[in-house]
Amino acid sequence: MYMNDLSKIKNILVKNPLKLDCGKEISNFPLAYETYGKLNENKDNAILVFHALTGDQFASGINPITNKEGWWSHAMGPGKAFDTEKFFVICANVIGGCMGSYGPSTIDNKTNKPIGTNFPVITINDMVNAQYNLLDFFKIEKLFAIAGGSMGGMQVLQFVSNFPNKARVAVPIACTASHSAQNIALNELGRQSIMADINWQNGFYGENEKNPNKGLAVARMAAHITYLSKKGLQEKFGRKLHERDDLKFSFDVDFQIESYLRHQGSVFVDRFDANSYLYITRAMDYFDLTNKFNGNLSKAFGKSKTKFFVISFTSDWLYPTPENRDIVIALNAIGADVGFIEIESDKGHDSFLLNTPDFLNTLKNYLKNTYSNLNEKRI
């Protein structure tokens, strides 16, 4: 299971109290992280990367818990977009997650059982405020960049709003400033599938060691469809049959796409916690950066001097280009330094995670050139 060997996970103990948006307060909690590359003497080459819904701190290389390739290995490593020969990259597991950070699968010292749904409901804002402690831990006054896709992009936006002068560059990718009704509905479908599983036990399944794997697998299958594009699905699978020449006339797997989705669901339950899925999707649904600014997104960034580079993908219908462009419009309204590009891709929302050459080259060149230009200005 995903939490078998915590000895392979680095973490800091956040001692200072953190006031959550729900009104509760947490302190003395673990925040798991991983680093890539080396922090230079000036401490001006640090990049904080935020992960998406089912990601974790193991963005590159081999994940020591799952033994699988890191979720952003295409983009991070020597000579890649996040060039670890040039940059010092930090990535944390969000609070509410299940890869070593404080979350519903954390063992409660009082009961010696997982916290389960006694864990407080959290927000993107809470996640970002928790991760800010990493700057103090590494004694970094100002980050060169922050970056992330999907929910990671939401954290990028929230970070700039909360800490307007703590990052020189922000790269939100395939994201939104406010979760749409469609996306809330899709997340609710996943949550209900988990909670309908008889093994969920109101979130205290850790006590009987029977996980709601069927519900979690269905949630993953439903979500995975939204990460792809219609064209990509059609070209890859079409109506191809799975290991047979004719229809079986049953409810077993007939089509390759069915087999693919079932596989995605079955491997997911081995590395992710069902309660974490509930809490993190809830945090995404609560995300609305305009909420504290009377619906005015521009005001969320009003005090920031951060350079922005917003990236979207043509075939992403989960966080489509217009929602990314709204961020650009809000930034333009306050005269912010903002660049924008829509990358042509038929890989859907997952384009930022996959080997998408135009995206990877664009990101690499932007980070490389911007870092060089900023350093030249300081000389």
Encode pLDDT of 335-374 as tens digits. Answer: 999 999 999 999 999 999 999 999 999 999 999 999 999 8
What is the pLDDT at residue 378? 63
* CB-CB contact of 104 with 63 (8 Å): no
- CATH topology for 6-179+288-378 is Rossmann fold (3.40.50)
What is the pLDDT at residue 353? 98
Residue 36 has pLDDT above 50, yes or no: yes
Among residues 2, 170, 20, the alpha carbon closest in space to that of 101 is found at 2
Residue 3 has pLDDT above 70, yes or no: no
CA neighbours closer than 13 Å in the CB half-sphere of residue 52 = 19
More confident residue, 245 or 49: 49
What is the pLDDT at residue 124? 98
Catalytically active residues are 150, 316, 349
- 200-243: per-residue pLDDT in tens? 999 999 777 799 999 999 999 999 999 999 999 999 999 999 99
Instruction: Give the chain's mean pLDDT.
Output: 96
Give the mean pLDDT of 87-98. 98
Residue 322 has pLDDT above 80, yes or no: yes
* CB-CB contact of 206 with 116 (8 Å): yes
Other Cβ atoms less than 10 A from the Cβ of 152: the count is: 26
pTM, to two decimals: 0.97
What is the pLDDT at residue 1? 45
Give the mean pLDDT of 262-283. 97
* CB-CB contact of 86 with 45 (8 Å): yes
What distance lies between CA 46 and its chain's CA centroid? 19
Residue 324 has pLDDT above 80, yes or no: yes
Give the mean pLDDT of 79-84. 98
Q: Which residues contact 244 (CB under 8 A, 6 or more apart)?
A: 254
What is the pLDDT at residue 244? 87
Specify the CATH architecture of the domain 184-280.
Orthogonal Bundle (1.10)
What distance lies between CA 230 and its chain's CA centroid? 23
What is the pLDDT at residue 375? 83
Give the mean pLDDT of 121-148. 98
Q: How is the chain split into domains, by residue range?
A: 6-179+288-378, 184-280
Measure the CA dihedral 43/144/11/174, to 10°: -170
Residue 379 has pLDDT above 60, yes or no: no
Among residues 15, 148, 158, the alpha carbon closest in space to that of 91 is found at 148
At 7, the pLDDT band (50, 70, 90 cuts) reads: confident
* CB-CB contact of 155 with 124 (8 Å): yes
Among residues 114, 101, 117, the alpha carbon closest in space to that of 18 is found at 101
What is the pLDDT at residue 327? 98
Residue 8 has pLDDT above 90, yes or no: no
Give the mean pLDDT of 231-260. 94
* CB-CB contact of 307 with 169 (8 Å): yes
